[in-house]
Amino acid sequence: MRRIIQRSVGALLIGFSILAGAASFAQEWPSKPVTFVVPSAAGGSPDVLSRTVMNQISKDLGASFVVENKPGAAGSIGIVQIKRARPDGYTIGYGNINTLAVNRALFNQLAYDVDADLEPVIHFFSIYNVLIVPADSPIQSVADLIERAKKAPGKMSYGASGVGTTGHMGGELFKSLGGIDVAFIPYNSGPAALQDLLGGRLDYMFSNSSEAAPLVKSGKARALGVSSMKRLPLLPDVPTVDEAGVKGYETIAWGGVVAPKGTPAEVIEKLNMAIQKALREPAVIEGLATLGAEPGGGSAADFKRLIDRETVKWKGIIETAGIKKLD
């Protein structure tokens, strides 16, 4: 009996030691530079927005957060780097609607498993798209666009920066809800698609608000609607697509923070609270707003629910649209 008691006490002491060690580690974190991986090129919205928030966190926590861009393979290269990192809180990164939701239904095989390889930390921010046409287009409204598309099935076209992007997925949702048949033209980048739109080689496109707003304000493009369920401060006179008649239409280009699976819960919580604090800072809110982004927030569990919900939604859109899976 004495031996059993001794073993039980020993096990309890070990357990307390592990818990104490984890708590101590969380208190010390971050004691060295943290790498923040962005799975896209420098200068794009994810990069600029991530740097805006990470700079604030660096000030708040008194530690260096270094943004490292790892574009390629529809975001897989960057996500795999996060997945393979030591789960100690010193390598974290950016995941979005594409890498965490759409890609799961779009690709036959991914080099990562969202549920098995990653820990959701927090919903970072949301960006919306703008439905635009060239300034000299005869199309004046969402209703006008749908009417013209229905009169000429398969003749009109829209473009986006690649298969599976929010410009593409949002376009397919618009087709489905609007009951129209138009051709999708994929491009290697957003600027290339915009160039063809402005040149009249595309009829319309759903462009990121940070890219579309300057074109609309300069008179180079006409905005027909925004992909949010409420009007955007960046373009207050432009109705939502839902408001313009396509009921239920919403596309959110959300992004968030993820960490390698196994990262201590205490570190996840500390990081979540630090980002929530940063997202309430006026300078950060203003920085996000200039790109048409709204701050996110919530718990890690809230972000997990968003990922799961969006995965189901876009899987359905991909299947309905008959989009062929990619290798």
Q: Tokens for 142?
A: 């969402």
Instruction: State the fold for domain 129-226.
Output: D-Maltodextrin-Binding Protein; domain 2 (3.40.190)
Q: Where are the domains of the chain?
A: 31-127+252-321, 129-226
pTM: 0.84
Give the list of residues 6+ apart from residue 222 with CB closer than 8 angstroms, or none: 132, 133, 134, 135, 137, 139, 140, 216
129-226 and 31-127+252-321 share a CATH fold: yes
pLDDT tens for the chain, 327 residues long, are 555 555 554 545 455 444 444 455 557 899 999 999 999 888 888 899 999 999 999 999 999 999 999 998 889 999 999 999 999 999 999 999 999 999 999 999 999 999 999 999 999 999 999 999 999 999 999 999 999 999 999 999 999 988 889 999 999 999 999 999 999 999 988 889 999 999 999 999 999 998 899 999 999 999 999 999 999 999 999 999 999 999 999 999 999 999 999 999 999 999 999 999 999 999 999 999 988 899 999 999 999 999 999 999 999 999 988 888 888
d(CA 180, CA 318): 16
String of DSSP letters for 245-292:
T-TT---EEEEEEEEETT--HHHHHHHHHHHHHHHTSHHHHHHHHTTT
Q: What's the Cα-to-Cα distance from 109 to each of 29, 38, 67, rounded to whole Å?
A: 35, 21, 28
Instruction: Give me the CATH code for the 31-127+252-321 domain, please.
Output: 3.40.190.150
Task: Give pLDDT tens digits for 259-293.
Answer: 999 999 999 999 999 999 999 999 999 999 988 89
Q: What's the Cα-to-Cα distance from 47 to each of 16, 50, 110, 254, rounded to whole Å?
A: 41, 5, 23, 13
Q: Is the dihedral of CA 46, 206, 228, 301 positive or negative?
A: negative
Number of H helices, E strands in the chain: 13, 10
